[in-house]
A and B are shown apart, each in its own frame.
Chain A
Amino acid sequence: MRWAWAFVLSFGFWLLLTWPPGWQELSVGLVAAVVATTFFGRMLRLKTVRRLFDPRRYFWAICYVLVLIYRIFVANLDVAYRVLHPEMPIKPGIVKVKTVLQNEVAKTVLANSITLTPGTLSVDITDDGYLYVHWINVRAMQEEEASSYIVGRFESLLRRIFE
């Protein structure tokens, strides 16, 4: 089952690359997809594939992109203000935040979103759901408060997309 899905996904990517398909592209693509599956099919997780067929997840993903763009925009203005201000009101430090997300892809997207947002940078992630984040202006030292500042904005949407 896993191999079949890996084959279908690699064949789909091949079709995207060689659009429009003729019989030559299709037949060569079959061979290419078999080769790709033998090398990388083991890396596919079946749970991930099942989630691909839920249209609500796509809707929440679009929402997430919009929210992320808004957050990046606001944080950009904030960091620009801190850089341009003559006194440079920064208070850099590394805080430990807790995420309730269980899915590994969701954790990865969360960490990358934190890094993409100016001012915060995810440094490390532990197996039991803690993230170490470098923050340009530490507003909260406590774990719960810092978590709600940094992670809380993204978490609910990410849970709807990935879990």
Chain B
Amino acid sequence: MITTLYIFIFFIIAAALVAVETPHALSAVIALGAVGFGLSIVCLFIGAPDIAITLVVVEILVLIHMIRATLQRDIITIMGPFSRLNVIATMLIFGIGVAFFYQVALQLPPFGQAVMTLIENSPSRFYLEESLNQTGAASAITAVLLDFRAYDTLGEATVIFTAIIGALALLRRTVKRERKGKGAGDA
């Protein structure tokens, strides 16, 4: 079980490295798709089927779109002069980051053990024990999302709403201008 998980995690890391290093845009997109599908399988293994469903669907969508977008063009690789100082500085910062992360990782509970089993009177325990009695929902995840923490979900929906408005505002202006230009050309 854990071994399979590790195999998938190494597969994801390898695919991510391929995505970064490959010179072709299409290969990078496909490697990115491998990362996403690997992640969704990992989600299935650690018991999050709803996230796995969403990941798979979003991954297919993004993959199709990225392939359609990158099919005709390629990445322009910029090769600059090799600077030793840059490499040393990058390695130093990376090393410091790894050292800090290691310190944090020592504090984390072991893999597969939920934080709520370590802390007395944690709210997660209350949610798990009381969700059925208090909300009548069979799925504890939905009970937390839409009852105990519904206000957070509202905030989440607001974030999506705002992001969409921003994206549409940015993209639509260009489209309108291009259309106007084309219409004038046709007429």
* In-complex A–B contact (CB below 8 Å): no
Residues of A within 8 A of B (CB): none
- B residues whose Cβ falls under 8 Å from a Cβ of A: none
